[in-house]
Amino acid sequence: MFFSFDLFISSAILQQKEGNIVKLIRVKDYNDLSKKASEILLKKVKNSQFLTLGLPTGSTPIGLYKLLVQDFLRSYTTYEHVTTFNLDEYIGLKPNHPNSYAYFMNKHLFHHIDIPVNQIFIPSGITENPINQCDEYEEQILSHGGIDLLFLGIGSNGHIGFNEPGTPFTSRTHVVNLDEKTIIDNSRFFKNINDVPKQAITMGLETIMTSKEIILLVSGKSKAEIMKALLDSEPSENLPASILKTHHNVTIIADESSLSLID
């Protein structure tokens, strides 16, 4: 594998098997990561007539969403032509539950920009028939012509969305039993670890891979080990994010602390 980068903001191309290329943008810290991600997203929003975005929750995109809100207040960049699909939602939490991903998205982004409510798609955590809803979610993505640009974070066990290690690369939107490590990682957002839901609905790995362009955001020392494993590994279902190495248009934006174990 060819792999090189300079100090601070620079790009490296990671040459992968079968001619696929993963672009790595190395940034100094979390602020620079959020800035870089917001520049890419805003450029797309401004230059598209219609745009379908895929969005994550979690700690990593909060800085990005903050910058989008700041931009909206300053420059009124419109989202009237934008449709969004979130990656995942906990099963059992209502949209107004402070730990639901619907609540998170409203709080950090949707309530502060002009995106029409009927253009926001998030799996429902309280549907009576989660399996039907997974199929509907797939159809909704398809009927919007697929996702143009999908942002992702990565879990410390390599999950993307809630696709835990061992998830088939051929998976579509599905119900998932959360990994012990994910429940522990996410318990920081809950009063008690026992309050963390044990199941979620997530876009599958194949669903993620149908996106035309993917940007993986990685920040912090807690992601250094998984970043090393990701960059060193061949695609394997034991490390769900490694499927991204077989996508034709992936960029990883990673800060220095997440790259601290890379020579």
- For residue 221, the minimal CB distance to ligand F6R (Å) is 12
Binding segment for ligand F6R (CB under 6 A), chosen from 21-29, 34-42, 58-66, 237-245, is 58-66
- CA–CA separation, 187 and 191 (whole Å): 8
The yes-or-no answer on residue 213 being catalytic is no
The site for ligand F6R, by CB under 6 A, has a size of 13
- 209-234: b or e for each residue (b if 16 or more CB lie within 10 Å)? bbbebbbbbbbbeebbebbbbbbeee
Phi first, then psi, for residue 250 (nearest 5°) are: -120, 135
The one-letter amino acid at 93: L
**Sign for the pseudo-dihedral over CA of 213, 255, 110, 94:** positive
- Kindly name the residue from 86, 157, 163, 186 that is annotated as catalytic: 157
Interface characters, 156-175, with ligand F6R (x: CB under 6 A): ---xxx--------------
The yes-or-no answer on residue 88 being catalytic is yes
CA atoms within 13 A on the CB side of 146: 11
The one-letter amino acid at 215: I
- For residue 18, the minimal CB distance to ligand F6R (Å) is 26
Cβ–Cβ < 8 Å for 185, 215: no
The one-letter amino acid at 202: T
| Footprint (CB under 6 A) of ligand F6R, residues 128-157 | 153-155
Q: What three-state secondary structure class fits 254? A: strand
Can you state the percent helix, strand and coil of the chain, rounding each to 5?
40, 20, 40
> Which of 22, 40, 67, 87 lies at the binding interface for ligand F6R (CB under 6 A)?
87
> Which of 38, 52, 60, 84 lies at the binding interface for ligand F6R (CB under 6 A)?
60
Task: Return the number of the residue (108 or 159) whose C-beta is nearest ligand F6R.
Answer: 159
Q: Which residue is nearest to ligand F6R (CB)?
A: 153
The one-letter amino acid at 102: A
- CA–CA separation, 191 and 52 (whole Å): 34
The yes-or-no answer on residue 157 being catalytic is yes
> Which of 54, 58, 63, 158 lies at the binding interface for ligand F6R (CB under 6 A)?
58
The yes-or-no answer on residue 97 being catalytic is no
Task: Return the number of the residue (19 or 134) whose C-beta is nearest ligand F6R.
Answer: 134
Q: Which residues bind ligand F6R (CB under 6 A)?
A: 56-60, 87-88, 153-155, 159-161
| Residues identified as active-site | 88, 157, 159, 164
